[in-house]
Structure 1
Amino acid sequence: MSDSEPKEIETLLEEIPLNLLKEYMDGNDIKGKKTNKKVAVEAILEHAQKKGESTFIKELEKDALKMALEEMDKKVESESKQKLAKSFKSHFSKQKDKAKYFQECSLELLTKFLAALGMEEDSSKEEKADAVMEELLITGLKLGFTAMAKEFINDVCDALKISKSGTKKACVNRIIGQSYPHYLEANTPEKEEREKNDITKIKEGITFEDLYQFYAEELVEFAKQNGLKKTGSKKIMCKRILKFLAGDETTTKPLKPGQRHKKKKGGKKRKADEKEGEEKEDKEEEEKEKEDKEETESKKKKTKK
């Protein structure tokens, strides 16, 4: 086997030192002998399979659960997702050969199963069945590694001679990717959880819809840079910024000391009073929006009648 070919998951785990395998088992409450590497790996994989199956069932949509029970020739006696999941879990756990079970599922059901695992597989029924089995194990392993501290993950990366840079999630994907290459692709290039928006693009002419695409903290940063009030909901922040861009610097900026209240004893102002006043304005604006919305909905109902 060439270096470019993925390793079998058993082979990969056996490359991890026994002391780290023991630590993984302790961290995930896995019972079993820890004196033999092969036995430890078997226990880890068995735990991962069960963990993956449990997570998989929780992620299944109601229609998938109903279809699964129907294909098992079991009565669907409830519309409750919780009860459907409990029923499916009970019957699924009795399947001695899980691989055979998935092979016998319909193509439509397998597609729903993969969707629950966050996968899209444009392939044959047999390949989809194999993919479900594979993803169950991967899901369990990912959960197991994610439960461990970053220091442990770094040690595993060192043992496997792979990069330990980036987040814990990125490193876990890199470890899993040694056996399942599509998880390596998730790290190439390694990106942040979300891309930041460029607040310099907030200029006159921007629409409310485009402005609303910015994250709340980005709107607050823009307000801070331009001396605007930073209180209120995201919707209010957007409206305030649009008013500011249109030239309104009176209602969009916080009042200066002495503008709102008369001076207190000793000539000192209380900032808390000013903040309270601003928050009151925002609250009034939010209430007005709510009233307008309710009035619009009321008119719609009357129109339908």
Structure 2
Amino acid sequence: IVIQMDRAVRRMEPWKIAVIVVSVIVGLALIIGLITYFLCNDQDRFYNASFLITNVNYDPQYERQTTDEFRNLSEEIETMISEVFKGSFLSKRYIRSHVVSLSPDPGGVLASVVLVFKFPSADSKTTTWGHVNRVLLRRLKTTSKYLEVDQSTIRLTELNKEKGDNLLNNCCGIRRQAFSFTGVERITGGQRALDGEWPWQASIQLDGTHRCGASIISNIWLVTAAHCFKGVRDPRRWTASFGILLRPPKQKKFVRRIIIHERYGDVVLGHEHDVAVVELASAIEFTTDVHSVCLPEASHIFPDNTSCFVTGWGALENDG
């Protein structure tokens, strides 16, 4: 039997031996790659933290995320949370925090905050939750200089990625990417935007061709300039696309209705009341790359010398 097997091996053609050897090597490489991926790859993990702030009285303005009152208190809370984790052994794992709601409570204001971390995928969820919870309980009360937190009310709940993304995506004005703009140029001479950097940017298109930029203000409404529809107001000829690229877009929607400001005059070089809103035929699916901007309250006053950013599609240089 041994002699017969030896002869069979000798009769095997060299190319077959090469195929077997290569297959074994590729198989081992795949196994090693998968093991390395699961051991070393980081993944986002989401948590919801809630706690009572006792030295702030509830203000009805906290009901809306767009009010100055909500934004100011949220910034204080988010700064406090950042200091909690950046001053701990989780500093390299902490990504961001975002206040999703401020609710009334007899003892003050109940804050609900989404926390985002990056942990190795091999780390157990129980262990990472324990690390986050321990730091939160140990440092939250002592870190803030201005906000007083009732430590007995601190609650930390783990969220799956879908739930965490949904909570953040339904908050207006959140960007996955911090803006990369470093100069003060106009769009001509500006910089290319990164994916998710301006997620509320939309393209208004006439017969499939880009005509104007717009901003997402809800899952079915956009705001844009009235002059974009000069001469063509039939919604059946208009569509809207979303995402950093015109082709292919992240999403595309038909237009149901176009509403022009009632005091806009369709005259050459007329820019008074040059605003319109567009109702979409179906709702946008909010994602990390596509969601709404925050509209300021009607009473909001922009201070002098406020920095503004212009985004849209166009040439990066004159005659480009």
TM range (shorter): under 0.3
TM-score, with structure 2 as normaliser: 0.22
**Structure with the higher fraction of residues in helix conformation:** 1
Relative contact order: is structure 1 or structure 2 higher (C-alpha 8 Å, sep ≥ 6)? 2
**Structure with the higher fraction of residues in strand conformation:** 2
